């Protein structure tokens, strides 16, 4: 996704920030890319922030000092702190963060400068290894989160609703890509794609996404069911990725 135009509501929020960034960075800035869920259908700025990547010709701390105070001003307007990188950092880190760079490759729009994300080369062996590690880490996180909630419905709901998008969507796109699919961007379509590809049940994640988008409260019975189903799906997916041959 490389179209330079942004969805109207995203553009109206991001463009003032972009103007200040370009004024502050000048020739130091290689390119700027809006990324993530803000580009997906159904984005709601009331429940999600706008993420972006600023690529610098070289890393300069003086630019970070100028950029930092903008966080308070624009954070209130739903602009997340941007990722700051250089071309050299990106090229040397593809093997370490293949899931994250795959997500940037799939879901970005370049709003200034050269699009160096479109043609990123993602190593499949590196991707398989990170997908397995993330899936197994999430199983630990689910167990610990459930115990830490100590039966408190609000804490458990917050854990599911606040973090599921950011934790699981890039991972699920990575798994779909690993399995030879072109990952779909919209969450419901992605879950359907994974269900068809793996034969596994992703309904619990669909329930979480709908509840988050509609800001609906989930009952304790629903949360217990969601926990069980999410855990089973992640465990099965982890086993599949563990055994997957590149």
Q: What pLDDT band is residue 185 in, cutting at 50, 70 and 90? A: confident
Q: Residue 141: is its pLDDT beyond 80?
A: yes
Q: Where are the beta strands (DSSP E) in the chain?
A: 29-35, 51-56, 83-85, 108-113
Answer yes or no: are the C-beta atoms of 234 and 139 closer than 8 Å. Answer: yes
DSSP at 53: E
Condensed to tens digits (0 to 9), the pLDDT of residues 102-116 reads 999 999 999 999 999
Q: Is 76 exposed, middle or buried (0-12, 13-18, 19+ CB in 10 A)?
A: exposed
Instruction: Please tell me the pTM assigned to this model.
Output: 0.91
Answer yes or no: are the C-beta atoms of 198 and 235 closer than 8 Å. Answer: no
How far CA 50 is from CA of 10, 23, 74, 76, 102, in Å, comes to 7, 20, 10, 11, 18
Conformation bin of residue 215: beta by default, left when phi > 0, alpha when psi is -120 to 50: left
Give the residue-averaged pLDDT of 162-172. Answer: 83
Q: Residue 94: is its pLDDT beyond 70?
A: yes
**Whole-number average pLDDT of the chain:** 92
Condensed to tens digits (0 to 9), the pLDDT of residues 125-137 reads 999 999 999 999 9
Task: Give CA–CA dist 108/51, Å, rounded.
Answer: 10
Helix (H, G, I), strand (E, B) or coil at 84: strand
Task: Give CA–CA dist 235/200, Å, rounded.
Answer: 11
- pLDDT given for residue 63 in this prediction: 96
How far CA 167 is from CA of 70, 112, 139, 232, in Å, comes to 26, 28, 12, 17
Answer yes or no: are the C-beta atoms of 29 and 54 closer than 8 Å. Answer: yes
Task: Give CA–CA dist 100/194, Å, rounded.
Answer: 19
Strands 108-113 and 83-85: unpaired
- The Cβ of residue 73 has, within 10 Å, a number of other Cβ atoms equal to 12
Answer yes or no: are the C-beta atoms of 168 and 194 closer than 8 Å. Answer: no
Give the residue-averaged pLDDT of 70-86. Answer: 95
């Amino acid at each position: 996704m490389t179209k330079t135009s942004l969805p109207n509501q995203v553009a109206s929020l991001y463009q003032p920030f972009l103007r200040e960034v370009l004024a502050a960075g000048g020739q130091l800035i290689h390119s700027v890319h809006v990324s993530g869920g803000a580009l997906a259908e159904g984005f709601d700025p009331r429940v999600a922030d706008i993420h972006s990547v600023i690529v610098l010709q070289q890393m300069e701390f003086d630019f970070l000092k100028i950029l930092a105070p903008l966080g308070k001003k624009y954070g209130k307007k739903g602009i997340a702190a941007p990722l700051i990188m250089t071309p050299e950092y990106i090229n040397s880190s593809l093997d370490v963060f293949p899931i994250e760079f795959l997500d940037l490759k799939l879901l970005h729009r370049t709003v200034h400068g050269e699009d160096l994300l479109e043609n990123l080369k993602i190593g499949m062996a590196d991707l398989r290894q990170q997908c397995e590690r993330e899936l197994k880490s999430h199983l630990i996180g689910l167990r610990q989160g459930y115990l830490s909630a100590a039966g408190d419905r609000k804490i458990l709901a917050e854990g599911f609703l606040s973090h599921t998008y950011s934790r699981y969507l890039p991972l699920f796109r990575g798994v779909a890509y690993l399995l030879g699919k072109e990952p779909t961007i919209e969450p419901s379509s992605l879950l359907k794609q994974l269900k068809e590809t793996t034969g596994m049940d992703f309904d619990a994640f669909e329930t979480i996404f709908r509840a988050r988008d509609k800001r609906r409260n989930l009952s304790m019975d629903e949360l217990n069911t969601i926990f069980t189903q999410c855990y089973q799906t992640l465990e099965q997916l982890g086993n599949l990725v563990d055994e997957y041959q590149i």
